[in-house]
Amino acid sequence: MMYWIIWAVVGVVFWGIMNYWITGQVAGKGWWASLIATLIGSWLGDFLLGDWVWVIAGFNVIAGAIGAIVFNWLWSLVREKMY
């Protein structure tokens, strides 16, 4: 249970940071899709990069952050093409 809480917190925090950095606002157009992409990236980052550096409740925070950043950035590229 604690794993999923840490995952959600990391995903939401990096979603907010990346959206603000990319768009200049936290919740702009298509924010639900951006949030989902970031949460998926956070989970995949932890899953693919394994347990190293900073692990809390079995969740690798650094790898989750890397995955969240990459997926949010990729989604922002796709969103540019759509709108």
Dump pLDDT digits (tens) for 25-36. Answer: 666 677 888 899
Query: 25 burial class (0-12, 13-18, 19+ CB within 10 angstroms)?
Result: exposed
Question: pTM for the complete prediction?
Answer: 0.85
Per-residue tokens: 21: 């950095």
Closest listed residue to residue 63, CA positions, set 71, 72, 53, 73: 53
pLDDT tens string 18-72: 888 877 766 667 788 889 999 999 999 999 988 888 899 989 999 999 999 999 9
Strand pairing category for 55-56 and 59-60: antiparallel
